[in-house]
Structure 1
């Protein structure tokens, strides 16, 4: 017994000595961070409500590269433009994978999508297929008539509203879901108003609700039985089966010889043709198509609706900016009756308003988690493989070392500026950067700009009676995409 104790003490002393020698030799250690609890680490600090705000506050104390532990998973949080550049540009390849989660693996047909798939030859080929097949300028422009129709319908519905106060959050979500249906499926469930509309809304609700669910089996496989006992596994399976059935019906509709002409050239039609061509080095089959549809439904509805609502929230709280951007839009467009996409390119202040909205209110303020693939040095610290990474886009957009008056809504900062949201300016990366940058930026921005510009052109917006600018809150609801917690309700008076 004494011998074993002596060996153990000697081993501990050697470990401490080796650690001290490593420090003296200047070898990087892990980044600083808040202490965690036994077994669960910093899990309690990773609750979904206002997570980006809490992580930003912790980063103010521990630094722009912060170490935490989510149960058993070593995790770093990036919260400054400088560190983001070093990580996502200088070490892009090391930061290009995704961690495994039960929900995403199941919903993406074992990671066959481009969002949750780990970095691999499959992912590179899949991204190439989707970018070239769906998101070229040619394809984005081909969806323009559908976008314009849906914007016109939204404007008409607001005009014909029987209530004085318009729920703009609801109008934005209705537009976003209907627009993505037109683009992806060649049909609009909003026009059905009945069971079809209710079913599609339920599909979106299921997708959004299952994303943040925590599965303990992802971190401790031996405890996976707890997820079954609590019903999480059965709930995930039920959501998957509902979604799979829905996707299959959409595919069957598109394969029918009697399908409506509106489905010609939509996203699903393009994906089916890509499958038939089979020109890629990877197998591109029905499960791949269903996984991509899942990505498009999630990214194409939540982010668009949230950005529209946040833009109108920021503007109603800044009447001077609201007046200035409306004067630009109306002065250029005149009495034409609507703003089209050609007009938008000639509206610099309006485009600055959209950029400033995305800076202050990135729709997904925490990027989807990444996973380190190889050992690398960031900010002087050694980051190990299998480390999970969160990039706090909200904190980066308000980085005082990159932005002057970072918490102020000042669209003028983007006038005569080359800073854009394509991932090259690391103080402004609302859609990410590097290999994992969102591939659908051009489609999303086209919908956002067209919707907001027409809302500003078509209506004079006022606060409800008795409500002041200070009463309009900017609290967010929990979720990967952060919507305004309380619906934005405004009075809309028709201008033209």
Structure 2
């Protein structure tokens, strides 16, 4: 046997397809076989002891989520966070890094599951790309913080001029929340504000415009309401949104039918509990399928139809009290950016339908639009939405 291996190793071409498969992928496949076999028997042996709810296998699915993300840094969001637009050139670079950052969020590194294969992350460039993105973002946020510190020392900044970074620096200086806030914490919070909600906000607007273009009657009704409330003004202001009930209904129906995040952020059971006859052990990971809940025929009439009118005379809201509609989650762990996201969605959509008349390209009917969805952390359209916008002329 030793003689055979010695002869094979001395004559083998290690760059041949067979050798690459044998020495790279065969050990991986063999490891996966034994892991799955172990989990299969361990799950079967423990399942007889308790009545466990149906769930996917514990072994993580290995693969790369195909995710097409469009960076969407709106003027309101950047102004709220850093108080100004990025200078020309840097803004373009930031959008590129944002896109790479969101792509990395959906990338699975096999070394997290099989430690001895951690080297694959270095070979395929994931680690190098992650370090590059992290370095740029750290430098960008550091510059933002230093700019604000310099501005605060040079001039007296009024309360009305404060942005998110100014508030964080004030909290750090006064220790107003009872525990110290260091530079790393400030950077993390700025990063959360810049990234969290950007992709989901774009997704909501993308699906809202899709449904409005498919349902021209709804589009015209929304335009009539928005333009009536706005009157002679050129743009929709935030204070105008209070009187736009149909706009709010359109946003709610979009969030119901096209959830940005179909599976809510996972939770973990804090103690052993019996729920609906099932034994839920402490530490169990719970994932809420909000997409399925929002399309449940027992809760919604014609659940697959886009009908904003269903919310006009309904008290159902997405703030976490009505569990048939929970796009932002519920309870103390619900999305903290819900109010900001809704205001931004309403403001952008209202201005889009107010200032422009929209239609599909010639030869394309609403019923012909492909409504396929992507698979990923957020649920985008599989194919880009193409529409023709014409500047609306007031009569």
TM-score range, shorter chain: 0.7 to 0.9
Report 1:68-83 matches (<5 A).
none
Deviation at 1:318, TM superposition (A): 0.8
Residues 248 and 18 (structure 1 numbering): CA distance in 2 closer, same or farther, change over 3 Å? closer
Partner of residue 399, structure 1: 296
Aligned with 1:240 (options 134, 153, 156): 134
Work out the number of aligned pairs and report it. 347
Contact 2:361–2:388 (CA<8 Å) still a contact in 1?
yes
Alpha-carbon distance in structure 2 between the residues aligned to 1:444 and 1:17: 46
Alpha-carbon distance in structure 1 between the residues aligned to 2:376 and 2:81: 24
Alpha-carbon distance in structure 2 between the residues aligned to 1:462 and 1:315: 9
Moved more, 245-254 or 222-231: 222-231
Aligned with 2:106 (options 183, 195, 212): 212
Contact 2:64–2:107 (CA<8 Å) still a contact in 1?
no
Report 1:329-344 matches (<5 A).
329-344=226-241
Alpha-carbon distance in structure 2 between the residues aligned to 1:253 and 1:16: 59
Aligned with 1:254 (options 148, 151, 166): 148
Partner of residue 29, structure 1: 51
Partner of residue 282, structure 1: 179
Deviation at 1:359, TM superposition (A): 0.7
Deviations for 1:365-423, whole angstroms, at most 9, x for unmatched residues? 22223333332333322223333332222222111221111111011111121111111
Moved more, 410-419 or 483-492: 483-492
Deviation at 1:451, TM superposition (A): 0.9
Deviations for 1:173-211, whole angstroms, at most 9, x for unmatched residues? 65x43321111011113xx4x321222112311220111
| Unaligned ranges ≥5, structure 1 | 1-14, 23-27, 51-168
Alpha-carbon distance in structure 2 between the residues aligned to 1:488 and 1:415: 28
Moved more, 277-286 or 462-471: 277-286
Alpha-carbon distance in structure 2 between the residues aligned to 1:279 and 1:294: 21
Alignment TM-score, normalising by the size of structure 1:
0.64
Contact 2:51–2:279 (CA<8 Å) still a contact in 1?
yes
Alpha-carbon distance in structure 2 between the residues aligned to 1:30 and 1:464: 52
Alpha-carbon distance in structure 2 between the residues aligned to 1:16 and 1:349: 52
Residues 259 and 403 (structure 1 numbering): CA distance in 2 closer, same or farther, change over 3 Å? farther
Deviation at 1:17, TM superposition (A): 10
- Tell me the SS of whatever aligns to 1:29: coil
Contact 2:214–2:369 (CA<8 Å) still a contact in 1?
yes
Alpha-carbon distance in structure 2 between the residues aligned to 1:303 and 1:19: 38
Contact 2:264–2:287 (CA<8 Å) still a contact in 1?
yes
- Tell me the SS of whatever aligns to 1:460: strand
Deviations for 1:131-163, whole angstroms, at most 9, x for unmatched residues? xxxxxxxxxxxxxxxxxxxxxxxxxxxxxxxxx
Partner of residue 358, structure 2: 461
Alpha-carbon distance in structure 1 between the residues aligned to 2:383 and 2:390: 22
Aligned with 2:255 (options 330, 346, 358): 358
Alpha-carbon distance in structure 2 between the residues aligned to 1:448 and 1:178: 13
Matched, 1:387 2:284: yes
Contact 1:179–1:188 (CA<8 Å) still a contact in 2?
no
Partner of residue 65, structure 2: 48
Contact 2:272–2:282 (CA<8 Å) still a contact in 1?
yes
- Tell me the SS of whatever aligns to 2:74: helix
User: Whose Rg is larger?
Assistant: 2
Contact 1:180–1:300 (CA<8 Å) still a contact in 2?
no
Alpha-carbon distance in structure 2 between the residues aligned to 1:385 and 1:227: 33
- Tell me the SS of whatever aligns to 1:492: strand
Alpha-carbon distance in structure 2 between the residues aligned to 1:205 and 1:300: 13
- Tell me the SS of whatever aligns to 2:387: strand
Over the residues paired in the alignment, what is the CA RMSD in angstroms?
A: 2.9
Alpha-carbon distance in structure 2 between the residues aligned to 1:19 and 1:213: 32
Moved more, 239-248 or 307-316: 239-248
**Larger relative contact order (C-alpha < 8 A, sep ≥ 6)?**
1
Residues 341 and 223 (structure 1 numbering): CA distance in 2 closer, same or farther, change over 3 Å? same
Contact 1:424–1:433 (CA<8 Å) still a contact in 2?
yes
Deviations for 1:65-103, whole angstroms, at most 9, x for unmatched residues? xxxxxxxxxxxxxxxxxxxxxxxxxxxxxxxxxxxxxxx
Alpha-carbon distance in structure 2 between the residues aligned to 1:289 and 1:200: 19
Partner of residue 299, structure 1: 196
Contact 1:461–1:490 (CA<8 Å) still a contact in 2?
yes
Residues 366 and 18 (structure 1 numbering): CA distance in 2 closer, same or farther, change over 3 Å? closer
Moved more, 242-251 or 388-397: 388-397
Alpha-carbon distance in structure 1 between the residues aligned to 2:44 and 2:144: 61
Alignment TM-score, normalising by the size of structure 2:
0.79
Alpha-carbon distance in structure 1 between the residues aligned to 2:221 and 2:80: 32
Alpha-carbon distance in structure 2 between the residues aligned to 1:430 and 1:397: 9
| Unaligned ranges ≥5, structure 2 | 1-42
Contact 2:246–2:312 (CA<8 Å) still a contact in 1?
yes
